[in-house]
Amino acid sequence: MRIILLIKFFFQYLLISGQLLNNSALYYNDSLSQAIQFQGQSYIGSTHLPMSITKVFYRGGVIDQQMKERAASRLNKLNRVGFESMLNISYFNNKPVILKKYGFYINASSIASLGAEYTDDLYLATIDGNTAYKGENINLQQTGFHSRFYNSLALGIMNNKFKLGFCYTSIQSEINAQIYQGGIDVSTDATQLDANINGYMTSSNNSSKLLNPYNWGLGLNFEITNLINKLDSNYNSRIIAGVNGFGIQKLTLANYIYLDTNIVYRGVQIQNTSDFNNSILPNDILDSLNENVSQLNFLPFELYVHKIGGRKSAKIHSCYGLRYRSLSNYSVLIYAGAEYHFNKSFTMGSIISYGGYSSLNQGIFARYKSKKIIAGLNTNNFIGLFLKNSRGTGLNFSMCYIL
């Protein structure tokens, strides 16, 4: 017998999981005039789930006892899983065409993101059943998840030291949920569940149109580039820091569920995952918790810092940085690594990262640079491409054509 609650949505949305490191080829051109850049990025991973289990969620299959035990052995009090994938195309013109000081850029992008954080109790009760918690409490505090798909258009000014722009986001779909406090008391015979929950869930009206006029966001994008050795022309090392999408979002007539209540379930029996599609809450209770409201909220934003470059004549350069995504069940991602310059055209390197939706990852990357093209390929977790017990894998691709 298995428990699900309103949070039954978690393991339906936890099909894949992830985090991205910025792999913009544009960063590796010291004197840009005009360029067109294409980027594609995607990652799957988890803090505790091996890839063998992750693949079952979106490919189908059987989760055997050995897979369960491996995932359970890695559990923490609070665990994460998530997914993000992004495609964008940009045009950059660094000529001083605006006020004779600034160039400009245009960017169009699409991003999909799913993520969740959940307690070890929730995971074990969902996988093994609530009979293991007879007479005990299943802790749900800090459990939350999100699912979103955005189309965005950004326009701004730029020079060699900074970029400043505004972004309009069409919110194709948005689901957010959070349990601040609460848990489930299981009866001694596991036939009654007494849920005490304080939290909420918001779900937007989905749209298949390219631009959704009813659900939208307005945000600010800002980036600065600071040379570390400004007085020494032999160095091109620099710190790049920025924020994307800092602003507000408007959801029109979104479905809003607020929970600050006690709900008792009796005789709840769910024998397999196909039963998750059927609500275990009586319809009259669901109706009493639901309302359709228009909301004005903060838009999820991204904060990042990257260090790249070094002495121009050196074969080895260091790189490090961090990344954070708000309202996305995401911990701060930190990374560090180094790259080796075989010649002026070809570079390879390795990065170790920790955080985000996953734990420790080790990736490799390669970059090719010519007079007209800069192309980069990055694996966020190289061993994840081959080992089923790794906790994630991903690929990032970036190509910049210099006009």
Instruction: For 206-216, write each residue's pLDDT tens digit.
Output: 888 888 889 99
The pLDDT of residue 264: 67
**Span of 195-199, 220-224, 332-336 with lowest mean pLDDT:** 195-199
In this structure, what DSSP letter does residue 280 have?
Answer: S
Quick one: pLDDT band at residue 279, thresholds 50, 70, 90?
Answer: low
d(CA 295, CA 176): 12
Quick one: pLDDT band at residue 17, thresholds 50, 70, 90?
Answer: very low
**Tokens read off for 143:** 């459990």
> How many structural domains comprise the chain?
1
The pLDDT of residue 393: 81
Alpha-carbon distance values, 230 to 43, 225, 234 (Å): 36, 12, 10
Question: What is the arithmetic mean of pLDDT over 226-243?
Answer: 86
Number of C-beta neighbours around residue 102 at 10 A: 18
**Span of 33-42, 122-131, 164-173, 278-287 with lowest mean pLDDT:** 278-287
- What DSSP letter does each residue of 349-391 carry, written as one string? EEEEEEEETSSEEEEEEEEEE-SSEEEEEEES-GGGGT-TTSS
Of the chain, the end-to-end C-alpha distance in Å amounts to 63
List the domain range (segments joined by +) for residue 244.
6-402
Of 145, 304, 297, which Cα lies nearest the Cα of 218?
Answer: 297
Residue 30 has pLDDT above 90, yes or no: no
Percent of residues, the chain, with pLDDT higher than 70: 85
Q: In a 3-state reduction of DSSP, which class is residue 69? A: helix
Phi, psi dihedrals of residue 47, rounded to the nearest 5°: -75, -20
d(CA 352, CA 359): 10
Residue 270 has pLDDT above 80, yes or no: no
Answer for the pair 143, 168: CB distance below 8 angstroms, yes or no.
no
Answer for the pair 127, 276: CB distance below 8 angstroms, yes or no.
no
Residue 150 has pLDDT above 80, yes or no: yes
Q: What's the whole-number average pLDDT of the chain? A: 84
338-373 pLDDT tens trace: 999 999 899 999 999 999 888 888 889 999 999 899
Quick one: pLDDT band at residue 123, thresholds 50, 70, 90?
Answer: very high
Number of C-beta neighbours around residue 59 at 10 A: 8
Question: What is the arithmetic mean of pLDDT over 248-268?
Answer: 79
Rounded to two decimals, the pTM is 0.84
Of 338, 335, 362, 359, which Cα lies nearest the Cα of 349?
Answer: 338
Tell how strand 162-186 and strand 144-158 pair up: antiparallel
> Is residue 173, in this structure, part of any structural domain at all?
yes
Q: Which residue has the higher pLDDT, 370 or 190?
A: 370
Answer for the pair 156, 216: CB distance below 8 angstroms, yes or no.
no
Contacts of 25 (CB under 8 A, 6+ apart): 37, 367, 374, 375, 376, 398, 399, 400
Phi, psi dihedrals of residue 12, rounded to the nearest 5°: -85, -30
d(CA 377, CA 143): 35
Q: In a 3-state reduction of DSSP, which class is residue 286? A: helix
> Is residue 196, in this structure, part of any structural domain at all?
yes
Answer for the pair 348, 340: CB distance below 8 angstroms, yes or no.
yes
Answer for the pair 295, 222: CB distance below 8 angstroms, yes or no.
no
Residue 314 has pLDDT above 50, yes or no: yes
Q: Which residue has the higher pLDDT, 112 or 265?
A: 112
Residue 160 has pLDDT above 90, yes or no: no
The pLDDT of residue 386: 72
Residue 13 has pLDDT above 60, yes or no: no
**Span of 74-78, 364-368, 380-384 with lowest mean pLDDT:** 380-384
d(CA 23, CA 36): 15
Answer for the pair 115, 180: CB distance below 8 angstroms, yes or no.
no
Find the Cα–Cα–Cα–Cα dihedral 204, 205, 206, 209, rounded to 10°: -120
> Is residue 1, in this structure, part of any structural domain at all?
no
Phi, psi dihedrals of residue 398, rounded to the nearest 5°: -140, 135
Percent of residues, the chain, with pLDDT higher than 90: 50
**Span of 55-69, 71-85, 369-383 with lowest mean pLDDT:** 55-69
The pLDDT of residue 211: 86
Question: What is the arithmetic mean of pLDDT over 236-244?
Answer: 92
